[in-house]
Amino acid sequence: MSTSGHTSSIDATLRSGVDARSQPRAVALWLGFSAAMVFAMAVIGAITRLTESGLSIMEWAPITGTLPPMSQAEWQRVFDLYRTIPQYQLLNQGMTLEEFQTIFWWEWIHRLWGRLIGLVFFVPLVWFWLRGRLPAWIKPHAIMLLALGGLQGFMGWFMVTSGFADRTEVSQYRLVLHLGLAVFIYAYMLWLTFRLLAPAPTRSAPETRSLRRWLVALLVLICITLVSGGFVAGLRAGFTYNTFPLMDGRVIPGGYGMLQPWIANLFENHAAVQFNHRLLATLTLIGAVVFWAYARRQTLPAAAARAIAAIAGMAAVQFLLGVTTLLLVVPVSLGALHQAGALILLGLTLLALHLLRPAEAGRSSRGS
């Protein structure tokens, strides 16, 4: 082989290596951006809930609903539809068209953002797939995320319809399902992004095994706390018992178990739902700080140590945000920040878990 031929072969190999490394990073950028959009969607959803805007659009029109009302007559038509439901008749009787437009825009933005997420996810997915730039191992995950996105759109409408007939707001059960699915999609996207950006270690330190178990337990606790917050939002339970640490002068509020069957108190009793969320939030903070203190005594990669410290710090910030939001009777801005804080805490925990994950056999062929 000539020198020039040998040099060309080396150059081709180097270019191939660069392409192999850049492709997962491009896919990671796409997934990470999609996760950021889901994060924003959850915050917009919190604002929509806090402003009681979710029932302002009475129609499900995935294509034509992309555009808002374009004439005075169309505005009046959608307002007249809203005036047929209990929320208007019992809570907002006498609302003007201008006041209706305020709540309409939040719900419209929420739905439009959902459509944009679908577009931002689907179009690059097709492009990556057709160009052969999608790693084989991630293809089934991408299809699953696409299906979950469609399911989430249905769940949103399923939730909204619960407020059209006999209620002045949506069902807290359906709201929690809608929120929970959004959180799962967000976490799923983040985890795939982390796998694409940071390869699995070639070996695992023995001390990380117990840390991972505790971190998984903390992750479960964070998720339960987040779901309990969905019930607080669904029942608007944060607008009562606006003192801390006591509730109506007591540690455990009166009437905690007043509903029958007793289990209904966990999901339908304002006092019980708020108390449970407070308790879970406190346990989450304690768990995060204790875990950080324990992890400091271990020999860990610097990135993992920083992530664990960030978890403890964010847990403290989130706890203070929750208390402040409660004491100020849930202003919209703080309620939205509290929602964002929960998702940031979840993301940091996933990052730490990823950084402490065990070595994987055959990782070079999968790029994970």
Extract the annotated binding site for heme.
Answer: 277, 338
How far is Cα of residue 53 from the mean position of the Cα atoms in its chain? Answer: 20
The per-residue DSSP string of 31-65 comes to HHHHHHHHHHHHHHHHHHHHTT-TTS-----TTGG
Geometric angle at alpha carbon 125, from 119 and 130, rounded to 5°: 130
Cβ–Cβ < 8 Å for 368, 360: yes
Which residues does the annotation place in the binding site?
277, 338
């029958």: which residue's tokens?
Answer: 260
Cα separation, 309 vs 290, in Å, equals: 11
CA dihedral sign of residues 320, 325, 328, 333: positive
Cβ–Cβ < 8 Å for 168, 91: yes
The first and second tokens of residue 135, run together, are 């790693």
Phi then psi for residue 226, to 5 deg, are -65, -45
Phi then psi for residue 247, to 5 deg, are -115, 110
Cα separation, 274 vs 238, in Å, equals: 7
